[in-house]
Amino acid sequence: MDNVKLTLSAAFFSLILGGCSLTYTDRSGYEHSLGLTHQKIKTTNEMVYLEKDSIGLNINLTAEDGGATIGYKKSTRIFVPDNSILTFENKDDEIKACLGKAAD
């Protein structure tokens, strides 16, 4: 019986220390992330920038980012208004995002 407790404890702590996360979208359209994740959100008048880092076993059940990962995963999404053009410039190893309006 002690071996079973030890094995279950080792498995439990391996999962906790190794990190796990689950990301899914509910019926109302809200995205949920559960587990060991770090998420950064930046909003401006022009856009919303979302960056998420996950470690361990990651299961993603979203339409945009479905799948499973073991190890490290970084995902980035940028939401811009309709009829916009998003360009990126890389100068001196610094990436700059520029948002403009599309020609009508």
Q: Length of the chain, please?
A: 104
Q: Looking at residue 10, what is its pLDDT?
A: 63
Token readout for 54 is: 């996950």
Using CB atoms within 10 Å of the CB of residue 60, give its burial: 0 to 12 exposed, 13 to 18 middle, 19+ buried: buried
Q: Looking at residue 95, what is its pLDDT?
A: 73
Q: Looking at residue 21, what is its pLDDT?
A: 81
Q: Looking at residue 77, what is its pLDDT?
A: 86
Q: Looking at residue 50, what is its pLDDT?
A: 87
pLDDT at 92 over 80: no
Contact status, residue 74 vs residue 53, Cβ threshold 8 Å:
yes
Cα distance between residue 44 and residue 1, in whole Å: 58
Kindly state the percentage of the chain with pLDDT values over 90: 0
Least confident interval from 5-9, 28-32, 42-46: 5-9
